[in-house]
Chains A and B, each alone.
Chain A
Amino acid sequence: MRKYLAVLRGTAMVGMVYRFGYFFAILGNLLYIGIVYFLWKSIYQGRDTLRGLTFNETMVYIALGSTVFFMLKTYSDWIIHYEIREGIIATYLIKPMDFQLYALFAVLGSTVMNIFAISIPTILFMIFFLKISIATGVGLVLFPLSFMFAMVISFCIDFFVGLMGFYSESVWGISSVKEIVLMFLSGALIPLQFFPEAVRNILFWLPFQAIFHTPLMMVTKPDSGLGTFIPMLAVQAFWTIALIVLTRLFYNQAIKVLRISGG
């Protein structure tokens, strides 16, 4: 376990070195929130609620949504794809580490840094300057667990896309599709309440909303009660396990091919 924590520390330190990035990231985040504020203010023009959400609720949802999005944003798909194409993956296979776990902890390193350097300042800004209030409730307690599930699910999807590197030179196309589908169907772009009922019912069972919508609900409407949250957590848990299994299978298959034909 210690060696994986060392990997985590490694990427965290790299984050320290590339310090300028954080200033701009925070700036970008705040700018995005500002723009989103105006956009939705216009959408809400003259209306109190839309689809059951007030402007304030939607605002909090999107603002926190983009923050959570940033916490979860990894470039593992690009990085892993690159490492596979360039043959660097061979160096990991030699080491006494599981490649997938290694990749996960590497990502966790930068996630930890992102949380401290970007997300927390942004949230503090939102609370103190934009006077956005975060309600309390059981949701806040469940949030860390939900976030961890979301993290693993997101990582698995990225890892899966990255593994395509064994089969294709192109990562942009698949990655973009993944990214946009993720953002759209997970509720990061628009609160899911705005989607038609039928679509929403299907989405509930897909892993996408398990990444954003669920942890986000815990923070935006933490008082929704255990009755709402437990099923959502269950779906998350299911997808976490399912995706770990899926990526594992894909990985083993790909590695087998690599070992036989030399990559």
Chain B
Amino acid sequence: MRTLGEYLRLYFIIEAQYIKARMQYRADFIISSFGMFFTSLVTLSVFWVIFDSVPDLAGWSLMEMVFIYAFYMLAISPMQILFDHFWQLRFHIQQGTFLKYYFRPLNMMFYYISEMFDLKGLIQLAAGTILLVYSATQLSVEWTITRILLLLLTLFSASLVQISMTVSAACAAFWVIDSYPVLGLAWKLREFSPYPMTIFDGAFRFAFTYIIPIGFVAFYPSQLFLRPSEVTPLIYFSPLIGVGLFALTYWIWTKGVNSYTGTGS
């Protein structure tokens, strides 16, 4: 069995080669990066248009919304950069090329994600960082060591929540031929993470906090820094939530891997 260290080293070696190869496709990199940048820009514009008509959204100002959105961008970046290969899973499964992942003495999920490293996600990471710093400054957020650590911790948990949702949805490909709508559903859900949970009442808020916790992707963590007094105590459990969800996701993946028979006889 390999140690975590060995896997990290192997990952580094593989990705170094992968990035080198991808850099040859300069046009693709530029276009994709622009696309990523532009998409974020337009989404921000949506906020701008809404706030042009109303001064606040459920009590949250424009700049606060920008902060939450920035946090959201940072939280979804690891998924984008590291786990992007999962969007191809249904093709590999249908065409039978998924078989090759069984043949190496490697953890299959590791092997699978190591084949793709999404460079344009780095743009998202950079943009998110800039936006976070900018909005935090505008809102005069105080940064202590504790808060910075808290930020990193909640970002880590938030990204795990996001990864879990998307990967679980992608795993539907093991049992359903057209799993794209499931992925689409997961995608739609996460589109609403940058909005304040306070806009939801009753059943929805419950669902988004306890069942499909998109609230932990951006909103609840942001409260820690923007409105510390309104924070829900659950937020301190977010690492548990993140890790727990990922464990569940890994279980689903394992079930899928074990049930796959490949095409042909």
Contacts and interface: CB of A to CB of B under 8 A. Distances in A.
Contact of B188 (A23, A31, A189): A31
Interface residues of A, number: 40
Nearest to A51: B53
A45 interface: yes
Contact of B184 (A24, A34, A170, A180): A24
B34 A189 contact: no
A21 B181 contact: yes
Nearest to B169: A24
A184 B50 CA distance: 12
Contacts, number: 106
Contacts of B38: 176-177, 180
- Interface of A (DSSP majority class): helix
A18 interface: yes
Contacts of B36: 173, 176
A77 B34 CA distance: 18
Contacts of A190: 46, 49-50
A42 interface: yes
B31 A18 contact: no
A194 interface: yes
A234 to B, nearest CB: 27
Interface in A164-181: 168-170, 172-177, 180-181
Interface in A29-53: 31-32, 34-35, 38-39, 41-43, 45, 47, 50-51
A51 B188 CA distance: 27
A169 B28 contact: yes
Interface stretch (B95-103, B143-151, B192-200): B192-200
B223 interface: no
B133 to A, nearest CB: 24
Given A173-B28, A194-B53, 13 more contacts: A28-B185, A31-B185, A35-B192, A38-B201, A42-B199, A43-B54, A168-B28, A173-B34, A174-B31, A176-B39, A177-B34, A180-B42, A184-B45
